[in-house]
Structure 1
Amino acid sequence: MKSAVRFTAVIGAALLAGCSMTEGEFNNMQATIGGSPAVKRQVIADCIARQKRKPPSEIKEVALVMNVSLSNFPEIACKRLWNATAAGRITYADYVKLSQPSADSSKVIRILQGR
């Protein structure tokens, strides 16, 4: 169970940098990145930079689930998560679930796996 908590925490941090948002704020963010390629590129670049600063031990489990190397994890995870968010594949309900370790996060796991 502890690894599931850590896994969910890493996913949540990668997705939204630890921000707590209301549904309206999430929807506004989603519309912004979905409608502005420049903003989405910047958000992805910021996410990649944050993930590269994390210790490998913190992201090892997620990289394993994603079937990517630790060196490729930051770019692949951030692109998959933010592209899915911009496209509406990740919803506010999914975002809220990421902070609940016992919630079903299988949809986000599939997105991270590129499915």
Structure 2
Amino acid sequence: MREFAEAMKILGEPNRLRIVKMLQERPAYVCEIAKVLGISMATVSTHLSVLKRFHIVEDRREGVKILYSLSHPRNRDIGRLLEFLKGIGEDWEVTIEDRKHLHSIEDVDEICSKEHREV
């Protein structure tokens, strides 16, 4: 129960919830998520490390970039929570706008290199 309660608290943070909603759409790189959320890559990385600790997201290295996607949590109840979240917030303006912004990104390498220069 404690792990589930902690996962609920973690997913209650607005930027983490936005990240999960984005990753329901498609896997994304840290630089893309940062661009969509309008926050630093360091902050996004911190959020992703918390989500990764609870096996909500997983990563895959692609050269110097790391691609994040939703994972299949070991805790069955957390998995059910993520499944439940798929039907929640689909009509939220922020979800719609985040996904539009994510889909509008055409050159990931350009965005990632630009983000690195700005950090």
Q: TM-score, normalised by structure 1?
A: 0.29
Structure with the bigger percentage of strand: 2
Higher RCO by CA contacts (8 Å cutoff, separation 6 or greater) = 1
The TM-score normalised by the length of structure 2 is 0.29
Decide which structure has greater helix share.
Answer: 1
- Give 1 or 2 for the bigger CA radius of gyration: 2
